[in-house]
Chain A
Amino acid sequence: MPSWPTETRYLSHPVPRVDAAAKVTGQARYSSDIQAEGWLYGMILRSKWPAAKILSINLEPALKIPGIRAAVKVREGEFTVRFYGEELAAVAGTTKQACLDALHAIEVQAEPRHEFVVHEDDAKKDDAPQVWDGVPNVSRPRTTERGNVDAAFGECAAVIEGFYTTPVQIHHPMETHGHTIFWTDDGLTAWSSTQGISSVRDSLAGALGLEHSRVRVITDFMGGGFGAKFNCGVEGILAAKLSRAAKAPVRLMLTRFEQALAVGNRPSSFQKIKMGATADGTLHAFEGENYGTAGIGAGAATAGGGGGADIPMPYLYRVPNVRVKQWEVAINAGSARAFRAPGNPPASFGMECAMDDLAVKLGMDPLEFRLKNDPVDIRRREFQIGAEKFGWKEKYRKPGTSPGPVKIGVGCAGAAWPAGGPSRNTHGEAQINPDGSVEFRLGVQDIGTGTKTVIAVVAAELLGLKPEQITVHVGDTNFPPGPGSGGSTTCASVSPTVYDLCQKALQQLQTQTGVADARGENWFAACKKLGVTPLVVHGNWIEGLSTRPAYGVQFAEVAVDTETGLVTVRKVVAVHDCGLIIDTLTLESQINGGIIMGMGYALYEERVMDDLSGVVLNPNFETYKLPGIADVPDIEIVLLNMPERGVIGIGEPATVPTAGAIANAVANALGVRVGSLPITPAKVLAALGKVPAPAASPT
């Protein structure tokens, strides 16, 4: 059985990203920087109606605009659009302005449908307009049950009932969705901002009727993806068709505005939770009802989890008697897609709020309550370590008892990420050159998480070289295939693959050169003996070096101004495990990012839809609010290194518990629960009973 080395020089140490200099100096060319010879801008015309029948689209006027080289429709004939921003047609031209002019020139004949619905509570009414003809907006409920819930509530010493809601969160990676695509008779090349070069290749090939072997996808540098960038998307198909028509490469990167409409989002959740415990603080009964919207669809099922609205209930804690009922509500809005730990952040928020509310009712310290009911040893240990670091004992006080108008509160929450294990279908090749230089080629992609660095660190450790001596090539479907970067699986997939490659390379070196141990100081001498032909080995993921799942806990301290409602997160302590740590520096970056994203979810982010017009009201960073550096607290990270478990991914668990911890800290500060994310000043003031009723509603 293979095993990771115990004495290490690079593994589990802080190693700067191998491409850090390229990134901060602007040398790194991201997908959106690609300027293929003779490239054109591509742009999409979108529906300005939330529901309409499209009768005809006339592209002729667009083609007359100077600089326009191609225009294509999404489809021929009549068709129905079901949300504001749905794609209708696209143009390619030599300048952005030409494309904008062309979009304005396209003539669309449509029958707008005046009946549409964009809010969950409206959509679930019996007389609501149907998003899909003949299909109820409300899906058939899915119910699971174990134990005897009704009897169990009678046996509880304390029971709480809460209503916890989370908004639709929009996918807003720094780099928007898009591609540059060049499609000729010889085949198609796509430079894509994607989490899955293979899945983009397959989806493009499928949509365009091409052999997979005729499609090459390249992703050298990529500006972030959180579950919505696996397939080529409508924008990819349109870019390909435009390229074919224009006989030129077409770069079609979406704008921030478009990003808010049509590339996926995290479904909302409306969680009604009834939960009870016995007098000694043992959870005994749980009844949960949840619905949410995935927009027009149930969400495209993708690697890393589906985009559906179901959430895991009752999430982390052991409850013997459970009944859960969940359903989904369709609305006229863009579809959901997988979003960093699909289902988990809303589930964590609802359950962790209920845990604190019940602890308060029981008169128990919420941390003790968790330790009593958490079935996972690792996480219980993390709660204890975190409590120590955070100073929970000193900081925790009864809800609402902090003096003065600015109240301090503390809260905690736990995480689970059942995926995070490896993909067995990970392949790679290593090339050892006679001059001692080393190249690794893996058909995975580095989406900003440090995959290239992971490969370099593992290879350097095992070959006795330095990370900067390893040249890493990823992000090209010409390389041996690997998995998409979803579900926190990449690290656990590539690390054992690189291990396999290194073992094979060392073995082969020994066979060919007679050097018994080519590592470290023997390396160059051994390689020289290869003569003129590089050594190439192929490898793949092997058993025993990676596993799952990962856990984690977070503690938050907040200050809430009870006169203005403003929440300030002062401190977050995060304790996380992910088996063997590859690189503490990139790992801490991932956790920082997860916490900041979770903070946005807790306090700022929310897609706002308008009933009357059906539009997204906040399709920009002015009103779709994201944490800025001034909002970000002091973050302290504690890492549990468990080499014996092997490698596990961390991307998703890091963002799961943040919102629950912050919400609990706010409730602890105020003495009342704000059960709805995001926790804005308006909601804090309302929870405190300070907001008067509105004047008579408008007529």
Chain B
Amino acid sequence: MNPQNVTVRKPKIQKNYTKHKLLFFIILTALLMLAVVFANQLCPYNPNAQIFEPLETPSAAHICGTDRYGRDMLSRVLIGLQTSVLSTLLLVAIITLFGTAAGVLCGYFGGKTDALIMRVSDVCLAFPGLVFALAIAALLNGGLRNAIIALAVVSWPKYARIARSQTLSLKNSDYVFAARLSGDTSVEIITRHILPNIFGPILVTAMLDIGTMMMELAGLSFLGLGAQPPTAELGNMMSSGRSMLQTYPWVIISPGIAIFLAVAVFNLLGDTVRDYLDPRNSGK
């Protein structure tokens, strides 16, 4: 065959950019976290001081305008972002730790405890998540702390299931047998051999859950079952701006954009971490 007639098909995506993407999103997340940590210093005004004209249009002095009580919106959005992000991270940490611990113990020891915990988790999974959380939050009388508890009760089974199934498969692997023959106790086997090897999938799930949990927590606040006024929280800020959407849109749009950006950044980071840890991507 004439070599000039041969079409060489070039791959459309020539290189795997996962590493660069990961770095990029880590930087974005770091920036977001800096804004969250230093929110108090970044605030131009006291977020709770009702000292300005109510419902001022955005201007150089008030980039996001003011709300109906004459509070600076930018300051409130920054503090609200801090409240939202920190409580979301706390929530994800709680469900990850508790869910993983429950799952590993169930998978490793089995028996009646396993059956009991897994049936409880079935019950939790049987309800539609947010509706169940609403019911619990309402029962607990609202408030940010109770909203976190409600969402934690609804969300831990996912982690317990992942951890349990991974533990079940590792429990009968040769290296866990070998560790037992080396004289390891159950605790040593769990901490040295099982946990480090199930860490990957759980980390990915947790990263992907940050965005979702942030939405749900803001959702509960939006419905009045999360943070209570005057606490600045993105969900309840949107809720209070709801009636003024057509007349004073900045009151609802600025916290909306803040939620959108934060959720997008966390979701993209989670996706990239998943791609990065995917074994099919390694070795490139």
- The answer on A and B forming one complex is no
Q: Give the A-binding residues of B (Cβ under 8 A).
A: none
